[in-house]
Amino acid sequence: MSSTVLVLLFLWLSSALGLLVPQHYCDNHFRYASNDGNRTYIGVFTAPETRSRSLNINLNWQVTFEMQGRRNMFVSPLTTYPSSEEAAVNIKNGQPAQVWVHFINITNELPKLTSLNLNGQELCHSAPYRLRKTRVTVKHHMYITKIRTPIVPTTEVYPQLYSIE
């Protein structure tokens, strides 16, 4: 089943459940998904494919989300997806690196992705909400060393940066 069909199915199910899914312009690098039978929601980010023959891969992710109005924390730290070990195997097999966030206390609207940067390059951007919004920026550093057979991943989690406007 294609990713477009899955996204459309998720959006249809979300609308049936009354959950608002904000528009974003990052289909090649970001998708909303659900866990636990649609009780919790996550956002998964995918790096562009590279044909790097380098033995060292350095990825600095920076992601910004917004929610309308004033909100407490609504996004977890950005972490390697699906896990450090599985990501290392996936990257070794030529698949792109991925990270994810867990959306916290979401009842009626998912946070809007407004910016995705990887190694200082903006991969996508969406218009921010007007005033009365809460913005959070999360960062994650992945450094992967390819050894002849296994890949050894290391990750670094940064604290969230919030601003209320």
Mean pLDDT of 141-162: 69
Q: Quote the pLDDT of residue 115.
A: 97
Per residue in 127-151, pLDDT (tens digit) is 999 889 999 999 999 988 766 555 5
pTM, full prediction:
0.77
Residue 26, classed as helix, strand or coil, is coil
Q: What mean pLDDT comes out for the span 33-41? A: 85
Q: Dump pLDDT digits (tens) for 80-137.
A: 999 988 998 888 888 999 999 999 988 889 999 999 999 999 999 999 998 899 999 9
